[in-house]
C-alpha cells in the first residue's frame, strides 16, 4: 500500500498493511539533514524566481522527511499562512500527493486557550456579554471554512484544526460553557469542511475526558494528541470512540525528550497494542518532534513501530 492508501484505510477503520505514521511537525531538520526550511520572513518578502526557489526548498525538505522517516501523510507547517502557504500546498501535492496524504493547519477555529488574549475580559463576557463571544465564535468558524476551501482548491486532502481547549487538569471551560460557546461552532465548520471533500483532524492537548463525547460529536475524522501526561489513556479512548473517530498520537513526549529508551518503547508499544486493532489509529507522538528532542529517541520510537508491524505481519502469514 502507498502511504495515502494506508491513511485512508485507517481513517475508514480498516487495518492497513502496517499502522500509518506521521507527525504534525518535525523540527529536527538541522540534526537530521544539516539544513532547515527557509525563514518565514524570507519567503514572505521574496518574489518571482526567488520565491519559487524558496518554496521548492520547502517541498524538497518535506520529501526528505517523508522518505527518511516513512511518513504516510504530511501537514504543511512552513510556510504558515498567507498565499505562500497555499502555493506551497500546490507544489507539495504535485510532488508527493500520489504517495501520501497532504494537508495544512487551520488555527483559531474556536474559542481556545491559544485564542484568548485577555482572560479577564473573556471571563466577564461569559456571564455579562455572551453575545460578544458568540459573534467571535461565528467569525472564527466562518474563517475556518473559508481557509479550508482555499486549501482544498490548492490541493489539500485534509486540514488539521489546532485548538488547545484543555490543561492537564481538564477543559479550560466548564462543560456547560463548552457546550454553549464551542461545540455549536464545531458543528458548523467541521461538517462544512467535510462537505468540501476534506478529511478533518482536530487537535488539542490536555485532559479531554470530561468533554470527550461533546468534543467528537461534530464528526471530525481523527483526533490528536491524546496526551498521556494529561491522563488520556488511549485504550479507554479507543473503547469509547471506536467507529466514531480515528485516533492519532499518545506516544508520551516527555519520555521522547528525556528517555530512557525502555520507557519510550513501553509508551509506543502501549499505543500500538491498544489503539491499532481494527484500524482507526495513526501512530504519532502526543505533540510534535520539537527542537531539543534527541533525534535518536525519535528513531528508536520508529524502530519499535517497525518491529511491531513486522511481528503482526508474521502472525498474519
Distances (CA, A) of 165 to 37, 112, 162, 203, 204: 29, 5, 10, 9, 6
Assigned domain for 317 exists? no
**Burial degree of 281 (CB within 10 A; 0-12, 13-18, 19+):** buried
Q: Which three cell numbers stand for residue 93?
A: 501535492
Pairwise CA distance, residues 15 & 4, whole Å:
14
* Mean pLDDT calculated for residue range 233-258: 98
pLDDT at 150: 98
pLDDT-derived band at 314, boundaries 50, 70, 90: confident
> pLDDT digit string (tens) for 45-75?
999 999 999 999 999 999 999 999 999 999 9
pLDDT-derived band at 317, boundaries 50, 70, 90: confident
> pLDDT digit string (tens) for 119-154?
999 999 999 999 999 999 999 999 999 999 999 999
- Other C-beta atoms closer than 10 Å to the C-beta of 128 total 9
DSSP secondary structure string for all residues of 256-316: HHH--HHHHHHHHHHHHHHHSTTS-EEB-BSS-B-TTS-HHHHHHHHHHHHHHHHHHHHHH
DSSP secondary structure string for all residues of 221-248: SEEEE--GGGT--HHHHHHHHTTT-EEE
pLDDT-derived band at 304, boundaries 50, 70, 90: very high
Q: In 3-state terms, what secondary structure has residue 44?
A: helix
Assigned domain for 121 exists? yes
Pairwise CA distance, residues 303 & 296, whole Å:
10
Q: Which letter does DSSP use for residue 26 in this model?
A: B
Query: What CATH number does residue 33 fall under?
Result: 3.20.20.210
315: pLDDT strictly greater than 80? yes
39: pLDDT strictly greater than 80? yes
Residue 225 sits in which domain range?
3-312
137 in Cβ contact with 111 (< 8 Å)? yes
* Mean pLDDT calculated for residue range 236-256: 98
Pairwise CA distance, residues 159 & 156, whole Å:
7
DSSP secondary structure string for all residues of 46-70: --HHHHHHHHHHHHHHHHHHHHHHT
* Mean pLDDT calculated for residue range 292-315: 96
> pLDDT digit string (tens) for 96-123?
999 999 999 999 999 999 999 999 999 9
* Mean pLDDT calculated for residue range 235-254: 98
* Mean pLDDT calculated for residue range 86-103: 98
Counting residues of the chain whose pLDDT is more than 90, the rounded percentage is 98
270 in Cβ contact with 264 (< 8 Å)? no
pLDDT at 7: 98
**Burial degree of 193 (CB within 10 A; 0-12, 13-18, 19+):** buried
pLDDT at 316: 82
> pLDDT digit string (tens) for 152-206?
999 999 999 999 999 999 999 999 999 999 999 999 999 999 999 999 999 999 9
Give 44's contacts (C-beta < 8 A, 6+ positions apart).
79, 82, 84
Assigned domain for 61 exists? yes
Look at the chain and report how many structural domains it folds into: 1
pLDDT at 101: 98
CA-based R_g, the chain, Å? 19
Instruction: State how beta strands 166-167 and 170-171 pair.
Output: antiparallel
pLDDT-derived band at 81, boundaries 50, 70, 90: very high
Amino acid at each position: 500500500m502507498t502511504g495515502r492508501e494506508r491513511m485512508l484505510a485507517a481513517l475508514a477503520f480498516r487495518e492497513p498493511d502496517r499502522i500509518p505514521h506521521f507527525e504534525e511537525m518535525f523540527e529536527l531538520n538541522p540534526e537530521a539533514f544539516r539544513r532547515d526550511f527557509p525563514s518565514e520572513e524570507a519567503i514572505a518578502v521574496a518574489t518571482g524566481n526567488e520565491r519559487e526557489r524558496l518554496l521548492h526548498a520547502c517541498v524538497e525538505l518535506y520529501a526528505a522527511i517523508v522518505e527518511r522517516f516513512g511518513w504516510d501523510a504530511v501537514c504543511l507547517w512552513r510556510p504558515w499562512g498567507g498565499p505562500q502557504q497555499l502555493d506551497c500546498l500546490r507544489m507539495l501535492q504535485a510532488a508527493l500527493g500520489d504517495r501520501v496524504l497532504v494537508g495544512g493547519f487551520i488555527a483559531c477555529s474556536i474559542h481556545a486557550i491559544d485564542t484568548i488574549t485577555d482572560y479577564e475580559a473573556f471571563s466577564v463576557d461569559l456571564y455579562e456579554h455572551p453575545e460578544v463571544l458568540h459573534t467571535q465564535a461565528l467569525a472564527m468558524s466562518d474563517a475556518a471554512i473559508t481557509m479550508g476551501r482555499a486549501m482544498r482548491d490548492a490541493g489539500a486532502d485534509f486540514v488539521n484544526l489546532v485548538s488547545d481547549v484543555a490543561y492537564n487538569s481538564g477543559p479550560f471551560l466548564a462543560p456547560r460553557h463548552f457546550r454553549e460557546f464551542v461545540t455549536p461552532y464545531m458543528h458548523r465548520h467541521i461538517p462544512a469542511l467535510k462537505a468540501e471533500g476534506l478529511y478533518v483532524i482536530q487537535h488539542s492537548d490536555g485532559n479531554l475526558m470530561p468533554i470527550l463525547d461533546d468534543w467528537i460529536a461534530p464528526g471530525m475524522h481523527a483526533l490528536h494528541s491524546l496526551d498521556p501526561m494529561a491522563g488520556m489513556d488511549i485504550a479507554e479512548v479507543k473503547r469509547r470512540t471506536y467507529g466514531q473517530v480515528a485516533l492519532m498520537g499518545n506516544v508520551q513526549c516527555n519520555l521522547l525528550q528525556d528517555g530512557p529508551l525502555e520507557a519510550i518503547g513501553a509508551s509506543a508499544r502501549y499505543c500500538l497494542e491498544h489503539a491499532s486493532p481494527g484500524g482507526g489509529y495513526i501512530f504519532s507522538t502526543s505533540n510534535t518532534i520539537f527542537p531539543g528532542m534527541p533525534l535518536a529517541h525519535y528513531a528508536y520510537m520508529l524502530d519499535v513501530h517497525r518491529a511491531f508491524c513486522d511481528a503482526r505481519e508474521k502472525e498474519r502469514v
